[in-house]
Structure 1
Amino acid sequence: MAGKVSPTPDERGGLLGFLAQQRQAMKVAAYGLTDDQARAVPSASALSVGGLLKHVSTTESGWIDLVLKIEPKPFAESMASYQENYRLGPDETLESVIAAYDRVAARTEEVIAGIEDLNQEVPIPKDVPWYPHDVPAWSVRWVLLHLIEETARHAGHADIVRESIDGATAMPLQAAAEGWPETNWLKPWKPAE
């Protein structure tokens, strides 16, 4: 992915393209990190790059479960594991979390490809306090737009956390991850020696 989403002939392709771009931004923020660096919490928040990757993966999977009308866990049970979804545990690796995220992405692509109409209703769970109580359903389109927004928000968080770890920023990291040639205006990131 060369920094911009390719022009797409239709809405579905555009939505999936922008979601894929934001997923890539999340993974680029982790490029070149060790597991310990991915667990690091170097900024004023309690966020880590690995924890953010784990969170967006879990979140996207949960939204696709809703699209498929898979009954979510009860709210109280979900909240008990909420904080764990923001942490890369001692037995988890950055590689395993990224692999899980890739599987979630493939599942999302497959599910969305199989939906005929993006206006299809996605019923709103009633026991989650921040979901609206006066709206019975979202659409699949709304869910995709929300996933783009949610992932983009956390990609920004991951950028800040990453820069706090070693000073690396998004475009040089992307250039390194994708093997772009060095130019006068952009030098791919290299690990400190």
Structure 2
Amino acid sequence: MPGQVGPISNEQEGLLAYLAQMRYVLKLTAHGLTPEQLRATPSASPLSVGGLIKHCVSTEEGWIAQLTGGDQKPDFAKYQENFALTDDETIEDVFARYDRAATTTEKTIAEIGDLGHRVPIVDAAPWNRPDLDHFTPRWVLLHLIQETARHAGHADIIRESVDGATAYPLMAAAEGWPESPWLKPWSKES
């Protein structure tokens, strides 16, 4: 996937394309990392690349479940657990779960069809605005783009702290771009 979203023909296509792009760049932060590096927390926070990806998967699953009438009550114990890979979780398992979540998101949005469809807030989380009494698919997609982009930025910083790798050299390596005078694809040796 290129570094930019391509042409879009309508709002729904655009929102889904930007969410897909943010998922992609977040997943790229894990490219070439060992299981230990995926769990590393090299900054002042307890965040890791693998944990951030897992959290974004869980967040997307939760928001899309809410659009379809699922439970809206946050489980704060699970919320904290979703920021770390367990010893028996692999990044491949998390990626597969993320791919399933993406498919579910696209299917759900297509089935609802109306980006302005109102979904009542049944059990508001403490971080919700008090004047917000409903969600819409549009709002949820924009929130997921915001959430995923925020955590992709966190993951970029953590990844750079782990081994010095940055976004475009990682993308170049993952996609097999040739080396150029202004961009060298990341490698374990660099």
What is the alpha-carbon distance in structure 2 between the residues aligned to residue 6 and residue 40 of structure 1? 34
Task: Find the partner of 1:186 among 159, 183, 186.
Answer: 183
Q: Does the 8 Å contact 1:69/1:123 carry over to 2?
A: no
Report the equivalent of 1:32. 32
What is the alpha-carbon distance in structure 2 between the residues aligned to residue 147 and residue 50 of structure 1? 18
Moved more, 125-134 or 10-19: 125-134
Offset at residue 126 of structure 1 (A) = 2.6
Report the equivalent of 1:46. 46
Report the equivalent of 2:18. 18
Where structure 2 has 5 or more consecutive residues not aligned to the other structure, the ranges are: none
TM-score (norm 2): 0.96
What is the alpha-carbon distance in structure 2 between the residues aligned to residue 138 and residue 169 of structure 1? 35
Report the equivalent of 1:115. 112
Task: Note the aligned Cα RMSD (angstroms).
Answer: 1.2
User: Identity across aligned pairs (percent)?
Assistant: 57
Q: 2:77 matched to 1:80?
A: yes
- 1:61-112 Cα offsets, whole Å, 9 max, x none, are 000001111123x44xx00111110001111111111111111111111111
The one-letter amino acid of 2:43's match is S
Report the equivalent of 2:158. 161
Moved more, 15-24 or 181-190: 181-190
Report the equivalent of 1:64. 64
Task: Find the partner of 1:133 among 124, 130, 135.
Answer: 130
Moved more, 20-29 or 175-184: 175-184
Report the equivalent of 2:101. 104
Report the equivalent of 1:5. 5
Offset at residue 171 of structure 1 (A) = 0.3
Q: Does the 8 Å contact 1:125/1:131 carry over to 2?
A: no
Offset at residue 125 of structure 1 (A) = 3.5
Where structure 1 has 5 or more consecutive residues not aligned to the other structure, the ranges are: none
Moved more, 130-139 or 105-114: 130-139
4+ long deviations beyond 6 Å: none
Q: What secondary structure sits across from 2:135 in the alignment? A: strand
TM-score (norm 1): 0.94
Offset at residue 127 of structure 1 (A) = 4.2
What is the alpha-carbon distance in structure 1 between the residues aligned to residue 27 and residue 156 of structure 2? 10
